[in-house]
Amino acid sequence: MILSKTAIGLLCVLLLFSIFMASLLNLIATDHNFYTEANNEGINYTKSLGNKYGAISDSTENIVWFLQISDIHISIFRDPGRISQFQQFCDNTVRRINPALVLATGDLTDAKAKDNLGSSQVKTEWVYYHNIIKESGVTDDTIWLDIRGNHDNFNVGTLHSQENYFRNYSVQGIVHAKSYVYYLDKNGVRVAFLGVDACPEPGLRRPFNFIGLLDEEEQETIKNLKLEAETKADHIVWFGHYPTSCILSMEKDSQRLDLRKLIGSSHGSQAYVCGHLHSMGGLVPKMYTKQQRGYLELELGDWKDNRMFRLAAIDHGHFSFVDQKHNTWPLLLVTNPKHAKYVMPGREPLHLVPESTHVRILAFSDVSVTNVQISFDKISWMKCRHTEGPLYACQWLPDLFKTGLHTLYVKATDELDKEAFIEHPFSLDGTLLNFEIFPRILLMLDAGVVFQAIFGTLLLVNVIPLVVLRLQRYPPKYHRRLPYRLWHHVLRRVWLLSKIDRIFYPIVLYAIYIPIGPWAIGELIDGYIGVVFAWGIVIKGTLLPEPFTYMYGSVQMMFVQIPLIFVLAYCLENRLFVYNLRGLKLLLRNFPFIFLLSIQLLLAYFFWLEYGTMAFLFGPLRTWSIALTVLLWYKTMTLPPDYCRKLIKLNELPS
């Protein structure tokens, strides 16, 4: 049986889609058995940890806890609550929880202009950040580890430039300009907190500052810090602003540092905690995954809009965490048994859990906690004994839960009768819970590759159909069914448009220019002229391979260049088949063109606010495309009568 062209095309599409989905699922797989891959090393490491910590009982030893806060975005222009509630966090929350340290993972200040488009460092915002920490006295009893985010790097020419206020107004910037490590040795637990500063140098104004960049020097620094941490600590907690999916390493000797591989190469690495993505505007509130090397990557929701912070603990070598909204009490964290979703074989002494004698829970409130209870069936509740500090313990019989997945229910009450209730799944035989698909995609793929793929796809969509239609000798045939008939009607108009040289060649040539030529020339940093290309940005004699340019170009392709083809096809129909239009009718007929032109003007205006007059005037992507749109519309609407008659005859050819 001979297959039709449609069937063959459909099979090809399905084949390509299947290959794509198989590759995607392989990239975001979280069931990669790191422990089996490094079996001997994992056994030796976890056995050594188990021997060091001993049995898990109700002892208050061998446990430390810490906090994380991210994307504070202190601003003098918007939402004063960010500042006042951040002060509350330092004054009250940190004092009540009394962590060993606090991680502040970037975007400490907003650095955005009053119009919300321009971007530059605002000294007053840094002074607020500095004074709140200083006046609260939070650093008297707690270690504060802060690191830069992309907003803290807007319009910063060099690390030593005057605009780099992180040096003078942060806690760690005076000592550590970029990546660093801090060692915590407390209560029998030795942890290295390794901060990764991936802010590019120079730091451009927004939006070309979304992807982190590790240059050759920083790659070597991080490697050395990791080697040092392995010798001085039992556990490594990595922290930074950008997720690993948003960090690009520059090539050195035709090789690039694989940050995920570097983190995962040490059995002591338990987690990489970060911010930056703001939980995708709250759409992905639990953006967690286990990377294929076996460690956790945990993005924390922002303080900016959602007032989130994280409590994490290492208890007898087991890493646990919970994310909490500010001023929500009581706060509970189960540290034994370990949450089933977040177990890390080969990195934690998991064999201690089935041998443990007590369930262990950290409980905090802004007033005294009066009662903590647990249940394995929500019918019979057992009261936990308060040991010391925030630790509550309750005896249990692990042998009753040897196989399968089980749920521990915990509820706590404080003296103001505020209650907290959590469900905590666990297993003792290695039964795992799956991570959600969207967090895995956002944290496990390479954002730069995704941006390039989107840009390339839109570029092909802009060019190939137009070229194919131009090569087609006869017009697409009409279909009897209404939806298909409407589509083929549009397709026929685009086919006619592709036959007009003065329209076809400018559209195709401009589409070819976009991935090759410069998009804008302007003052990308105060005092420095730079050139923006699709494949990177040239400034100060340095090429910054900023992949977000592809996303910026994708916006142009999606909302301007591709719609332009259909708008011109619609205008061509008006020119060929609609007569004697005047006044309001003429205006309504040209509404699609006016709407498209308005979008372009708005995008160009935003670009002017972001990068100034020079970039606006020398901006082939945003500004000059307006002139191209107007020119093509004018040429379409003023086609000579002879040319119009020729096109009408083409339209009348049999399909």
Distance of alpha carbon 411 from alpha carbon 375, whole angstroms: 9
Looking at residue 339, the DSSP 8-state letter turns out to be P
Q: CB of 420 within 8 A of CB of 331?
A: yes
Q: Which pLDDT band holds residue 206 (cuts at 50, 70, 90)? A: confident
Out of 128-137, 401-410, 527-536, 540-549, which region has the weakest mean confidence (pLDDT)? 540-549
In this predicted structure, which of 5-14, 40-49, 361-370 has the lowest mean pLDDT? 5-14
Residue 8: is its pLDDT beyond 70? no
Q: What is the pLDDT at residue 33? A: 62
Task: Quickly count: other Cβ atoms within 10 Å of residue 645's Cβ.
Answer: 11
67: which residues sit within 8 A by CB, 6+ positions away?
93, 94, 97, 99, 101, 102, 103, 309, 310, 311, 312
Rounded Cα gap, residues 653 and 647, in angstroms: 10
11, with CB counted inside 10 A (0-12, 13-18, 19+), is: exposed
Specify the pLDDT at position 290.
95
Q: Largest Cα–Cα distance of the chain, in whole Å? A: 94
DSSP-assigned letters across all residues of 33-75: -HHHHTHHHHHHHHHHHHHHH---SS-S-SEEEEEEE----B-
3-state class (DSSP) for residue 310: strand
pLDDT band, very low/low/confident/very high, at 475 (cuts 50, 70, 90): confident
Q: Which two tokens stand for residue 123?
A: 């000294």
User: What's the one-letter identity of residue 602?
Assistant: L
Peptide bond into 545 cis (omega under 30): no
pLDDT digits (tens, 9 = 90+) for 22-59: 555 566 666 666 655 666 677 888 899 999 999 999 99
Mean pLDDT, the chain, rounded, equals 89
Domain 34-444 has CATH 1.10.3720.10: no
Task: Spell out the domain ranges in the chain.
Answer: 34-444, 447-651
- CA atoms of 122 and 335, how far apart (whole Å): 41
With a CB cutoff of 8 Å and minimum separation 6, the contacts of 36 are none
The pLDDT tens digits of the residues spanning 273-327 come to 999 999 998 899 999 999 989 999 999 999 999 999 999 999 999 999 999 999 9
Residue 546's pLDDT is 85
Q: Between residues 208 and 335, which one has the greater pLDDT?
A: 335
β-pairing, 143-147 vs 101-105, is parallel
Q: Which pLDDT value is given to residue 495?
A: 86
d(CA 349, CA 440): 25
**What's the confidence (pLDDT) of residue 1?**
43
Provide the pLDDT confidence category of residue 588 given band limits of 50, 70 and 90: confident
Rounded average pLDDT over 537-549: 88
